A and B are shown apart, each in its own frame.
Chain A
Amino acid sequence: MLFPTVSYGIFFLVVLVVAWALASRPEWHKNFLLLASYCFYGFWNWTYVPLLFAVSLGSALIAQRIQNATSPARKRWLILGVVLNLSILAYYKYTAFALLSLLNLWSLVAPPPVIGFDSPILPLGISFFVFHAISLLADTYRKKLRIRVNLRDALLYIAFFPQLIAGPILRASSFLPQLALPRNPRVIRANTACLLIISGLFKKVIIANILATRLVEPVFAAPSRFSGADTLLAVYGYAAQIYCDFSGYTDIAIGCALLLGYRFPRNFNAPYTAVSPQDFWHRWNISLSTWLRDYLYIPLGGSRAGEASTLRNLMITMVLGGLWHGANWTFVFWGALWGTLLVIHRLWLRVNTPAILVLRASVTWRWISRILLFQAVCLGWIFFRAPSFHIGLEILHRLTAPGPTTLATVPVVLVLILGLFGQYLPRRWRFGLEIEIARWPAALRGAGLAVALFIISVLGPTGVAPFIYFQF
């Protein structure tokens, strides 16, 4: 069930009404949300509902053991839980990748053995619900959870439908306390939620879909058919598409959760306005980057053991972060590219001559950094999007091909500009709009939401492509 569909709209409206009707009975309210979440997941494929349940229940039970155990046993339970979760993720997502890589290495020296194996079908959202489960285990182990782990609440935390398929990745320590409190029917940030939903739909249905179908897909399918101008547009177009696609998804997810009375963390903060690689990861997929920081980079040693190990930890974190996105060497390369950028930036920051310090403080340098970083981000996106290195390299090669553009139509250019430069719009504009509509009667606000959705559905292409991050 995709967010921008009538089916999801009706599903969500039913859930919204029933959930608030049950707000005075918290246990029923949460049971209902859990049931709705499993229905939401089962709508895609019921086959994998037991897997989601098993991962959630297993992690919740282990989290309870961690809470009840004494020091040495706590760590053993944590290791068991993390290994189990990572094993499930590895089996579904990485077994074939590892096997293929091994066999292809083997074939360099001898004919590889014949093995009977078919990679399993990848369950939707497995990377996300496994990361939620690990967050539950780690937060419990680190005693960040100040409440007892309740089985039903833990199941709901992992399966809660607005974040189930593609995040944002919630922390157990921030979400379970919300579940422990009854919903307050007098405090609902409905205006913020509706604006987020409209903004998310606009970004996904109009910007991302138009760019995908009219610009990015044709060029990445057969780059050699297009000129350098078209190829460059497609690369920038993919930068706008993936941002609008993913941030659009999380806007809708955050908006839906807010309407139900739950707060999700912000996941994007105008990432293409970043001025450094570090700044970018503070703005892009924030929930994933902080997850990797807290549960991978810091346990690896973080920046506590000297510069060399810091750089190593950065590289390991980014390579594994790349691999998390997909079982393909192009994702590993993408992660390694980011690791390299972060390492170079860290080394650059150590150059502290007076002239450099003055330069760094200047507005001009900020803009130069911003533009250079955006080119580096786009270089990474080429390999993130390309199905193989061959196509990625061909895209790079085609950037220099002469010829006119055939894809730069008015709608494409318009949505490209909106997708890239919309991030420079001041946030206070949104607050201003929110304050303005707060003056309207509630029914009129609902009518305004309906009109906005109608306009978006008219402006967007027919049919809705799945969100890019669903595949991860």
Chain B
Amino acid sequence: MEFPRHIKGLISNRREVMAGLAGFLLTIALLDSGGLAQWARQLEIGPLRRLAVPITAALNQTLHPLGIDPLRHVLLADLARLHWTRDRAAQQAASQPAPQLVPPKAPPRPMTPPRPNAAMISATAPGKPTKPIAAIANPSPAPPPLPILTKLPLHTRLPALAPLPPGVHRRTIALVGDSMMAVGLSDMVLRQTTNDPALRVIRAFRSGTGLARPDVFNWMTEYPAMIGKNHPNLIIVAIGANDAQGYVDHTGKVLAYGTPAWIASYRARVTKFLALLQASSQQVLWIGMPPMQQPGYAARMRALNRITATVVAADPHAAWWNPALLIGTQSGQFRALGPASRDKGAPIVHLRQPDGIHLTDDGAGLLTARIIPWLAPLPLPPPREPPIPIEQLTQRGTQGSSTRIGGNAVPSAQRPK
């Protein structure tokens, strides 16, 4: 169909476009200045954020008295009542009285990042004393924490599985984490446990999240909603791929990635998150980040692993498991390709996605080849073993980075347990 150029208004000139732009900007600022301020706060630490945060905050504070910006929450709450959305924030809003679309009487308060909401934790773990909720939100004074591991444990093994509580015949497993769980690993666990009546798997993962940015996705408040009324006997966690970044802590202080303050803050977040998981489960298996392809990113993930391994080692009901020797080379370095299994003659496959970060199904299969047999069969009689102290976790050679394709890549004697 020929474009009807003769109709007035169908073709705009530059001045009309700029007028339209002005109308657009004014309207969007009125409707969603809060959303813009939130977007600015969620930017990565850097010049753009430094510029955007004060501008959008000022805009939001200026327009807030008009009382239009709660509109988004009102609509989300209505949609949640209609079961349109499954977003946690909207469901929370739906369960509360709808915000009023009138100007507030009190002056607006400065915006702060959301705080962990420990009151949301309601699940209790059978067979293990549950930590008081207050103790998770405000941990009591504890002995000085162990120093962060200087070397990452390479050879780790799966811990003894906690016995099921009396009367429970089916093990409930929650898969928790970011895209490192969502891509590949969760799919393989779900597929390989479908026909096992003794296992029940709950999906509680979300891509693009982490512990560094609760302003983007707050695991401390979202996890209880994701897990619902379930009481997992085991939680398998893989999280952290998005966490090697600076952030603003709850006091408003900017923490640059890798600084001592950042490490202490991130460690505290991991500790709180682990406590939250432990509050609803008997046992936690924390899968470390696999080796990554880009050297800089790989180094950051190793540093992150040292923090999570340190925190998890201090918890008797949690174990940290390093997948590097399964998914990587003999020395735990990155490899993109490799045998699909330990069987002789196994086909060579892509173990990692083209981004050099995520696992393929085949790569995840190398991990589930260990995890699934560990979960079954039930009932599980093995005596409970103490977790492996970090000092007993040995680190073997880390030299060599050549990836072997074909043949038996990992001699059986050197394979991780």
Q: Chain A residues in contact with chain B, CB under 8 A? A: 6-7, 13, 16-17, 20, 23, 96, 99-100, 103-104, 106-107, 111-119, 121-122, 185-192, 194, 214, 218, 221-222, 224-225, 259, 387-388, 391, 409-411, 427, 431, 434-435, 438-447, 449-451, 453-454, 457-459, 461-463, 465, 471
Contacts and interface: CB of A to CB of B under 8 A. Distances in A.
Given A441-B19, A443-B26, A451-B27, 7 more contacts: A16-B17, A100-B348, A116-B404, A188-B13, A224-B191, A387-B361, A411-B84
Contacts of B85: 461
A462 B89 contact: yes
A40 B348 CA distance: 36
Interface stretch (B224-232, B243-251, B273-281, B350-358): B350-358
Given A114-B404, A118-B337, A431-B1, A17 B11 contact: no
B210 to A, nearest CB: 13
Interface string B57-87: 0000000000000001001100100111111
A225 B20 contact: no
B187 interface: yes
Contacts of B16: 188, 190, 442
Interface residues of B, number: 75
A77 to B, nearest CB: 31
B402 interface: yes
Contacts of A447: 23-24, 26-27
Contacts of A461: 85-87
B159 to A, nearest CB: 26
A443 B23 contact: yes
Contact of A190 (B12, B39, B405): B12
Given A119-B336, A214-B86, A221 B11 contact: no
Interface string B266-304: 000000000000000000000000000110000000000
B246 to A, nearest CB: 18
A20 B347 CA distance: 56
Contact of A450 (B23, B206, B350, B356): B23
B7 A188 contact: no
A168 to B, nearest CB: 18
Interface class of chain A by DSSP: helix
Contacts of B83: 409-411
Contact of A112 (B15, B72, B356, B406): B406
Given A112-B406, A117-B403, A121-B294, A387 B360 contact: yes
Contact of B20 (A106, A449, A463): A449
Interface string B1-43: 1011001111111111111111111111001100110010001
A326 to B, nearest CB: 9
Most central of B85, B206, B349 by chain A CB within 10 Å: B85
A122 B87 contact: no
A118 B335 contact: yes
Given A116-B403, A427-B1, A222 B8 contact: no
Interface string B102-140: 000000000000000000000000000000000000000
B404 to A, nearest CB: 5
A114 B1 contact: no
Contacts of A449: 20, 24
B345 A107 contact: yes
The 10 A-B pairs at the shortest CB distance, nearest first, are namely A438-B9, A446-B23, A443-B23, A112-B406, A446-B20, A450-B27, A446-B24, A185-B14, A122-B354, A222-B190
Contacts of A106: 406
B406 A446 contact: no
Contacts of B203: 218
A118 B350 contact: no
B186 interface: yes
B330 to A, nearest CB: 12
Contacts of B27: 446-447, 450-451
B39 A221 contact: no
Given A23-B14, A454-B28, A462 B87 contact: yes
